[in-house]
Structure 1
Amino acid sequence: MPEALDPTPYDALLLLSFGGPEGPDDVVPFLENVTRGRGIPKERLKEVGQHYFLFGGVSPINGQNRALLDALRKDFADHGLDLPVYWGNRNWAPYLTDTLREMAADGRRRVLVVTTSAYASYSGCRQYRENLADSLAALRAEGVEPPRIDKLRHYFNHPGFLEPMIEGVLASLADLPEDVRDGAHLAFSTHSIPLSAADTSGPAGEHGDGGAYVRQHLDVARLIADAVRERTGVDHPWQLVYQSRSGAPHIPWLEPDICDHLQERHAAGVPAVVMAPIGFVSDHMEVLYDLDTEATAKAAELGLPVRRSATVGDDPRFAAAVRELILERAGTERGQAVAPCALGTLGASHDVCPVGCCPARAPRPAAAGADSPYA
């Protein structure tokens, strides 16, 4: 039997994710949840939903979260960590409020949350914290005393997140024809966000010129490119690029777009490109459509060989990283001296989001932060 690991003061882990439709009839209601309050007509949502309809109306994210839940539970059991794992979504079943209600009924009093977003940004961190605050307030309004919520730090530079991506890039390079392999360019891709959101991402001291969002992605890209060079002996040129822009055209977003980048690289004579979706934990719709469908079609039109490397998904090393992060945070909460595990130049991220971190356009309560209304 493995030695029992101590997660106290925590008595549960909550996997918090975005959610996605699981059939054609779910697509428009799901998009209504995502865009609530923006006044977008249903006909426009049907147009937006075409990406989902191409895949039978099913987003892969829920299935991938189920696989990650299985990986986490197996890793915890194999290593003697007695910590139940729950799952809740922001925009589709199982809904976050329902899951927190279940946790309260099960007697869970102190909960750690891990989100399926590795980096600092409003949409990748604070919005999840706002959703948590909304759900906690809803339970209190019902007369239910919810558990106390803490959130695991950003894990973008944890080796258990990085190593599967490094291996994914190596596998994609190996899959390219030999005559173009050594000259291949690495395009590290992440979700584009408005420049205003990027510039104010992370703690206030890191705001400006892309903020923590861009700096964290650049650090990950450098770490992967350096590891690829060390393991292959080839120094592949690389760039951070963006995808999945969804905002109004007059609002500036992070660029270059992946398709524009492929066209520019082809014009510059690059013989091949590996697209590495470092901004995504799993192969959800933005990866399947924007990279595997749209960007791959653009590359075919150009006659440019491309490969798309794997995301982390339910890799056992990622599950192990979550376990290590739980024990790290638990030890810190118990007052122990803990050496956080992080690679690169930025060091370990903060445990508690400070005041002014990734601010919203309009102030809203957010849980699990220094400015949280809930202890």
Structure 2
Amino acid sequence: MSDAPTTEYDALLLVSFGGPEGPDDVMPFLENVTRGRNVPRERLESVAEHYYRFGGVSPINEQCRRLKAAIEADLAAHSIDLPVYWGNRNWTPYLADTVRQMAADGVRRAAAFVTSAYSGYSTHQQYVEDIARARAEVPEAPQIDKLPVYCRRSGFIDPFVDGVRDALARLPEDARLVFTAHSVPLAQPGRADYVAELQDVAATVAERAAPGRPWTLAYQSRSGPPSQPWLEPDICDHLEELAGQGVGAVAVVPIGFVSDHMEVKYDLDVEAADKAAALGLRFERVPTPSADPRFAALPRELITESVGAAPPRAGR
């Protein structure tokens, strides 16, 4: 499977992480996510409480439905008749089932747009491996090319710029910008590229939205054992540090994420927000691109660039 597609496509595959859609789904979903990692049961039960707080439903699947509809609308607006499929890594609709349906529909070559904008293992290579694994389960599976990393594209960056401006307008003049992304182990392959991209994107958003304003990059959602070094500082620890420096307000920007899924809704909107309140910090959380039309245009733009001037092939 190539990461640099050079031919026409007859389908687009939206690939996401997946999430539970009811209380009975929560533990099986978490077991899927952590399979083979020897995560203690008590840790799974602790994380499960995050989902139960929201009725056992992760926002991510509904957000994928909205993104899929927005992508379809963008394709239609540009007269591109390309069917859009959707498959998840860890919950229904499972990626292998979607690839099976694509094969049954006669799809021969598809472009894959994943809901992760950055390089690195968990944000890029793991998606490549999961797509390959799903194809291996399906006889005569279509060729599937993962579209390029898009963290520096305007369709990803522009919604954050607007969100930062809106958030800062509700805060005092001296509010600080704090960008966040999912922490990963320091030993994870591709970690250096991941951090470099995060720093570059954060700097771009900060300069465009609030030139000259101080900003920092923090991390969230760590899940490894305490003995394993992960990217730091943790967002809650960093808020405490800022409060100690006399900072009175923060706009938190989840630059590492494309949608307001559970790690945004709980780790930021609950844990970080509660921490800020306890510290006396004014707190605003900037939304992610989600189904913003500019973000939904990215698959079309990436496909068109990959196949040249000719539009993607729609007939099968």
TM-score strictly above 0.5: yes
With over 3 angstroms needed to count, the CA separation of the structure-2 counterparts of 1:174 and 1:25, relative to structure 1, is same
Please tell me the residue identity of whatever aligns with 1:56.
Answer: G
- Aligned-pair distance for 1:43? 4.8
Which of 158, 168, 179 is 1:163 aligned to? 158
Counterpart Cα distance in 2 of 1:267 and 1:322: 43
Is residue 221 of structure 1 aligned with residue 220 of structure 2?
no
Query: Which string of whole-angstrom CA distances, capped at 9 and with x for unpartnered residues, describes residues 36-55 of structure 1?
Result: 12344545422221110110
With over 3 angstroms needed to count, the CA separation of the structure-2 counterparts of 1:256 and 1:150, relative to structure 1, is same
What is residue 360 of structure 1 aligned with on the other side? none
Counterpart Cα distance in 2 of 1:333 and 1:194: 42
Is residue 149 of structure 1 aligned with residue 147 of structure 2?
no
With over 3 angstroms needed to count, the CA separation of the structure-2 counterparts of 1:332 and 1:219, relative to structure 1, is farther
What is residue 178 of structure 2 aligned with on the other side? 187
Instruction: Give ranges in structure 1 of 5+ residues lacking alignment.
Output: 1-6, 202-209, 335-375
Counterpart Cα distance in 2 of 1:332 and 1:37: 44
- Aligned-pair distance for 1:166? 0.3
With over 3 angstroms needed to count, the CA separation of the structure-2 counterparts of 1:333 and 1:245, relative to structure 1, is farther
- Aligned-pair distance for 1:135? 1.2
Q: How does 1:66-145 map to 2 (within 5 A)?
A: 66-139=65-138, 144-145=139-140
CA contact (8 A) 1:28 1:42 kept: no
Is residue 291 of structure 1 aligned with residue 268 of structure 2?
yes
Q: Please give the secondary structure, in 2, of the residue aligned with 1:14.
A: strand
Is residue 322 of structure 1 aligned with residue 313 of structure 2?
no
Q: Please give the secondary structure, in 1, of the residue aligned with 2:46.
A: helix
- Aligned-pair distance for 1:332? 8.7
CA contact (8 A) 2:248 2:280 kept: no
Query: Which string of whole-angstrom CA distances, capped at 9 and with x for unpartnered residues, describes residues 287-309 of structure 1?
Result: 00110000000000011101000
Counterpart Cα distance in 1 of 2:243 and 2:39: 37
Is residue 273 of structure 1 aligned with residue 250 of structure 2?
yes
- Aligned-pair distance for 1:66? 0.3
Q: How does 1:34-53 map to 2 (within 5 A)?
A: 34-40=33-39, 42-53=41-52
- Aligned-pair distance for 1:138? 1.3
What is residue 65 of structure 1 aligned with on the other side? 64
- Aligned-pair distance for 1:86? 0.2
Instruction: Give ranges in structure 2 of 5+ residues lacking alignment.
Output: 1-5, 312-316
With over 3 angstroms needed to count, the CA separation of the structure-2 counterparts of 1:40 and 1:269, relative to structure 1, is closer
Is residue 243 of structure 1 aligned with residue 203 of structure 2?
no
The root-mean-square deviation of aligned C-alpha atoms, in Å, is: 1.6
- Aligned-pair distance for 1:315? 0.1
- Aligned-pair distance for 1:82? 1.3
Please tell me the residue identity of whatever aligns with 1:116.
Answer: T
What is residue 187 of structure 2 aligned with on the other side? 196
Query: Which string of whole-angstrom CA distances, capped at 9 and with x for unpartnered residues, describes residues 125-154 of structure 1?
Result: 111111111111111xxxx20001111101
Counterpart Cα distance in 2 of 1:256 and 1:216: 17
With over 3 angstroms needed to count, the CA separation of the structure-2 counterparts of 1:43 and 1:237, relative to structure 1, is closer
Counterpart Cα distance in 2 of 1:324 and 1:47: 41
CA contact (8 A) 2:29 2:91 kept: yes
Q: Percent identity?
A: 58
Q: Please give the secondary structure, in 2, of the residue aligned with 1:195.
A: coil
What is residue 314 of structure 2 aligned with on the other side? none
- Aligned-pair distance for 1:319? 1.1
- Aligned-pair distance for 1:28? 0.4
CA contact (8 A) 1:244 1:286 kept: yes
CA contact (8 A) 2:7 2:306 kept: no
Say how many residue pairs are matched: 306
Q: Please give the secondary structure, in 1, of the residue aligned with 2:15.
A: strand
What is residue 167 of structure 2 aligned with on the other side? 172
Please tell me the residue identity of whatever aligns with 2:24.
Answer: D
CA contact (8 A) 2:176 2:247 kept: yes
- Aligned-pair distance for 1:8? 5.9
CA contact (8 A) 2:165 2:210 kept: no
Query: Which string of whole-angstrom CA distances, capped at 9 and with x for unpartnered residues, describes residues 240-271 of structure 1?
Result: 11000000000000000111111101110112
Q: Structure 1 length as normaliser, TM-score? A: 0.79
- Aligned-pair distance for 1:175? 1.6
- Aligned-pair distance for 1:322? 2.0
Q: Structure 2 length as normaliser, TM-score? A: 0.94
Please tell me the residue identity of whatever aligns with 2:160.
Answer: M
